[in-house]
């Protein structure tokens, strides 16, 4: 589907990645369609309106699952009636993201853009979404889309309320900013927690029957074999006592982590 800003990629007949390759963060949001309703995992940067794309892909009601409350994941939240977030990030959604000034946010949103942006985008007045969620997510919640069940895993570290989403029907694991490739997974901000992040990485290695992993940045789709390397990384980082702020970038096969 051609679009001036978004790249829509079909994962299967009922699953789509909606990507923003024109921005340095290369953000992916994901639309999962069931029989009764659809789930949108994150809403992108907010440079353009992602609802324009989701309206073309489904006429079912859409519920937004927020992996975490950072700018590049809540950009079009205001376009949807039902948005859900883990309680750990609820305060950030309502009162603003901790640890980043609006000036820094505006600099980051406007740098290294390689595609024309819509006329509605003005970085000088850009402001992240703030508002009350429809409801709160918790670990092991099950969201039934009708013939398709999603399990919520609380995976903090990158943010206090970060969640990953496991599609039990297809074996897809959507890891948000917990696991992706090419650029480091961030756990060096004051608002992050290295210990929680490593424990969350260990947690997802215990999920059974994963067929594909979809992080929110960079390569679209990682083979589940990477989870074996994640197990090794967890053991290595703990054994070497590296799970703390200031130890730098740690590189493994297929991904890296920065503390």
pLDDT digits 0-9 by tens, 124-166 = 999 999 999 999 999 999 999 999 999 999 999 999 999 999 9
**Residue 34: DSSP 8-state:** -
Phi, psi values for residue 190, rounded to 5°: -60, -25
Superfamily of domain 7-180+211-223 in the CATH hierarchy:
Ribonuclease Z/Hydroxyacylglutathione hydrolase-like (3.60.15.10)
User: Which residues sit opposite 153 in a β-bridge?
Assistant: 164
Average of per-residue pLDDT across 104-122:
94
pLDDT in tens, 68-82: 999 999 999 999 999
Question: Contact, 77 vs 131, CB < 8 A?
Answer: yes
Q: Which residues, in sequence order, are bridge partners of residue 19?
A: 7, 28
How does DSSP classify residue 77? G
Output the pLDDT for position 190: 87
Closest CA to 137 of 90, 70, 202, 199: 90
Share the mean pLDDT of the chain: 96
Predicted structure pTM score? 0.96
The two three-digit tokens of residue 159, written as one number: 């943010």
Helix (H, G, I), strand (E, B) or coil at 237: helix
- Taking a C-beta distance cutoff of 8 angstroms, is the pair 248, 240 a contact? no
pLDDT of 2 > 90? The answer is no
Using a 10 angstrom Cβ sphere, with 0-12 exposed, 13-18 middle and 19 or more buried, the burial of residue 114 is exposed
Question: Does 180 score more than 80 pLDDT?
Answer: yes
């Amino acid at each position: 589907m051609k679009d001036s800003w978004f790249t829509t990629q079909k994962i299967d007949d009922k699953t789509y990645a909606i990507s923003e390759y024109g921005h340095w963060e290369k953000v992916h949001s994901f639309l999962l369609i069931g029989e009764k309703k659809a789930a949108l995992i994150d809403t992108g940067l907010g440079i353009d309106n992602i609802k324009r794309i989701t309206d073309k892909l489904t006429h079912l009601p859409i519920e937004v699952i927020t992996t975490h409350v950072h700018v590049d994941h809540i950009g079009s939240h205001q376009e949807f009636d039902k948005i859900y977030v883990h309680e750990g990030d609820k305060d950030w959604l309502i009162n603003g993201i901790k640890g980043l000034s609006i000036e820094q946010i505006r600099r980051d949103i406007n740098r290294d853009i390689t595609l024309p942006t819509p006329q509605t985008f003005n970085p000088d007045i850009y402001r992240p979404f703030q508002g009350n969620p429809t409801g709160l997510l918790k670990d092991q919640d099950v969201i039934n889309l009708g013939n398709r069940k999603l399990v919520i895993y609380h995976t903090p570290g990158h943010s206090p309320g970060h969640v990953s989403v496991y599609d039990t029907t297809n074996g897809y694991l959507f890891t948000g900013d917990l696991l992706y490739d090419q650029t480091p997974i961030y756990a060096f901000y004051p608002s992050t927690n290295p210990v929680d992040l490593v424990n969350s990485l260990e947690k997802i290695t215990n999920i059974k029957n994963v067929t594909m992993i979809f992080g929110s940045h960079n390569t679209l789709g990682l083979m589940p074999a990477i989870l074996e390397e994640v197990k090794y990384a967890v053991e290595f980082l703990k054994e070497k006592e590296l799970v703390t702020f200031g130890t730098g970038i740690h590189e493994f096969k297929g991904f890296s982590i920065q503390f």
